[in-house]
Amino acid sequence: MTSLSFGQVSWADDMESYTAGDYIGVAGGASGWTTWSNDPGSSEDATITSAEANSGSNSIEFMGDMGQDVVLDMGQVYSSGTVLASVSVKADSGYYFNFQSGANIGDGWALDIQATDSTLYVYNYDGSNFIFHAIIPIGGTGGDWHTFNFEFDLDATENNWHVTYDDSLVASFTNTEASSVSMINFYPISAETDFFIDDVSYTHWPTPKSVTFQVDMNYYEGDVGTLHIAGNYLSKDFMWCGECLAMDDTDGDGVWSVTLDVPADSIEWKYLWDNWAVNEALTEGTPCTKTTSGFTNRFLVLTESSTVLDPVCWEQCDSCSMPAGVTEVVETAPVLYPNPTNNVLNVEFGSNVENMDIQVYSLTGQVVRNMNSFSGTKAIINVADLPQGAYFVVGSSELVRFRETFIVQ
């Protein structure tokens, strides 16, 4: 029912693991269910029924004349990040539930939800006055299920809280009475009305951390599309989406980047394009990777609020390195044009050079063009029949040495 992954906590209970007649505080105690007096199995406890269900076969039944008072302990006090919660209720009146804010039951009330006389009230109580955030009619026969969704942004300066009822936003407000949540408390407020709850869940996203991702595509052999990044917790909205988080190379230097607010303490991800048609084939066991369910992805533990990652080479953990046979020397840089090219490459020097040996290397270190003992101010190299991709042109004479990169397209 509970999962903890990369700092995110997710919990859900659809009541299907219980048997009709079970006390929820007894059968679900290990999952956080208890009662207001911490007395599972007592008159405060509610039972599982198979007579009603929002999904599956079971729900929790609250009977108005029984004095039930059930608590779901969320395991800790959440005072940062974002909390999402959901509760499905079958009733139009006679029920109440609240979010607690403290470490102990009764320490504080974060938010109250009450349905009375077919009217829904969303409010806080400051000890003297009711602060209403929504008062809406919810008339009906009591025969329908209704779903509440909550989003509490505990990091926002305004402490933004949002309440949705059956897909309609009914309250959006700054909560001046609480900035934390820890439990949900349910009980009937009318002796004449029974109600049922089902499909209770909550998720906590940690405070987002700013991460700048960079991948160097200068040495990729072949056409490069518009790069995207996909991962598990790069965003609260997009999980492994291949076309949702685009990167850019606005300065045209071949290094693609994107900065994201990552709501997790660690992440897995890959670089790709064309909605997964082309994606990294990473090697299992390399230092920057983690293999999960047979998939090897990049992996990073986030310890700082802001991180700028160094550019890495496609499918590598480190920065791009020179192919075998290519020596990295740049003593006098010529001008290469056009670059990219599909016909000839002009290598123009600022002055006359003599007896220079010029080679063109592929990214695998293979010499694909060789010009010996060149003398002059401009070398012209025919590259029309070379496959598309990145290449190195390297020159060396007694006085001048250089290495430059160009693209054949």
pLDDT digits (tens, 9 = 90+) for 41-60: 999 999 999 999 999 999 99
pLDDT digits (tens, 9 = 90+) for 342-357: 999 999 988 888 999 9
The number of C-alpha atoms within 13 Å of 270 and in the hemisphere containing its C-beta is 23
Sign of the C-alpha dihedral computed for residues 27, 28, 34 and 35 taken in this order? negative
**Do 319 and 216 meet the contact criterion of CB atoms below 8 Å apart?**
yes
Taking the CA atoms of the chain, what radius of gyration do you get in angstroms? 31
Place of tokens 């006389």: 117
**Do 114 and 121 meet the contact criterion of CB atoms below 8 Å apart?**
yes
Cβ neighbour number for residue 250 with a 10 Å cutoff: 7
Cβ neighbour number for residue 167 with a 10 Å cutoff: 7
**Structure confidence at residue 399 (pLDDT):** 74
pLDDT average, residue stretch 377-387 = 94
d(CA 55, CA 311) in angstroms, rounded, equals: 47
209-313, CATH topology level: Immunoglobulin-like (2.60.40)
Q: Measuring CA to CA, which residue among 265, 223, 226 is closest to residue 242?
A: 226
**Structure confidence at residue 338 (pLDDT):** 95
**Structure confidence at residue 84 (pLDDT):** 96
pLDDT digits (tens, 9 = 90+) for 7-35: 678 999 999 999 999 999 999 999 999 99
Which token pair is 263?
């709501």
Please determine, for residue 270, whether its predicted confidence score (pLDDT) is greater than 80: yes
Domain 335-408: top CATH class: mainly beta
Characterise 179 by phi-psi region: left (phi > 0), alpha (psi -120 to 50), beta (else).
alpha
Mean pLDDT of the chain: 91
| Secondary structure E strands in 178-254 | 181-188, 195-205, 209-216, 228-231
Which residues 6+ apart lie within 8 Å of 198 measured at CB?
14, 15, 52, 53, 54, 55, 56, 58, 59, 60, 88, 90, 145
Which residues 6+ apart lie within 8 Å of 68 measured at CB?
35, 43, 44, 45, 46, 62, 186, 187, 188
2-205, CATH topology level: Jelly Rolls (2.60.120)
Which token pair is 404?
């430059």
**Structure confidence at residue 330 (pLDDT):** 42
Sign of the C-alpha dihedral computed for residues 160, 165, 171 and 176 taken in this order? negative
Domain limits of the chain?
A: 2-205, 209-313, 335-408
Strand 2-5 relative to strand 47-49, pairing: unpaired
Please indicate whether the domains covering 2-205 and 335-408 agree at the CATH topology level. no
pLDDT digits (tens, 9 = 90+) for 63-104: 987 889 999 999 999 999 999 999 999 998 899 999 999 999
Place of tokens 């909205």: 237
Please determine, for residue 258, whether its predicted confidence score (pLDDT) is greater than 80: yes
Total number of residues shown for the chain: 409
**Do 406 and 340 meet the contact criterion of CB atoms below 8 Å apart?**
yes
Q: Measuring CA to CA, which residue among 326, 331, 336, 387 is closest to residue 361?
A: 326
pTM: 0.69
DSSP 114-167: EEETTEEEEEEE-SS-EEEEEEEE--S-S-SEEEEEEEEESSSTT-EEEEEETT
| Phi then psi dihedrals of residue 25, to 5 deg | -70, -25
Task: Identify the band that residue 127 occupies on the pLDDT scale cut at 50, 70 and 90.
Answer: confident
